Amino acid sequence: MNISLPDALKAFVDQQVNARGYGTSSEYVRELIRKDQDIQRLREMLLDGASSAATAPVDAGYFRGLRDRVTQRTAS
């Protein structure tokens, strides 16, 4: 895949590659695509959660129970 960029955008990409320690502009673009995929997955999960049925309220006891279960699993 080839991507053509105007000079100003190419300069920006080159600057990001140098400043952030990427080896190539392709690495930088791949990272941007991965981040965009993560954002889209998160958005889908949030929308799925928002459209799901309501459950019991989450309070301090709920989180205490989660911590206790994790502690028991790691102690085993």
The per-residue pLDDT for range 25-69, each reduced to its tens digit, is 999 999 999 999 999 999 999 999 999 999 888 999 999 999 999
The verdict on residue 36 lying in a domain is: yes
Whether the model pTM is above 0.95 = no
- Residue 70 within any structural domain of the chain: no
- What is the span of the domain harbouring residue 28? 1-52
Of 10, 30, 28, nearest in space to 19 by CA: 28
Residue 72 maps to a domain:
no
- Whether 41 maps to a domain, the answer reads yes
The reply to whether 69 falls in a domain is no
| Number of domains present in the structure of the chain | 1
Distance from C-alpha of 49 to C-alpha of 8, rounded to nearest angstrom = 41
CB 30 within 8 A of CB 17: no
Tokens standing for 50?
Answer: 């928002």
Q: Is residue 44 included in any domain, yes or no?
A: yes
For the stretch 5-25, pLDDT in tens is: 999 999 999 999 999 999 999
More confident residue, 75 or 39: 39
* 59 found inside a domain: no
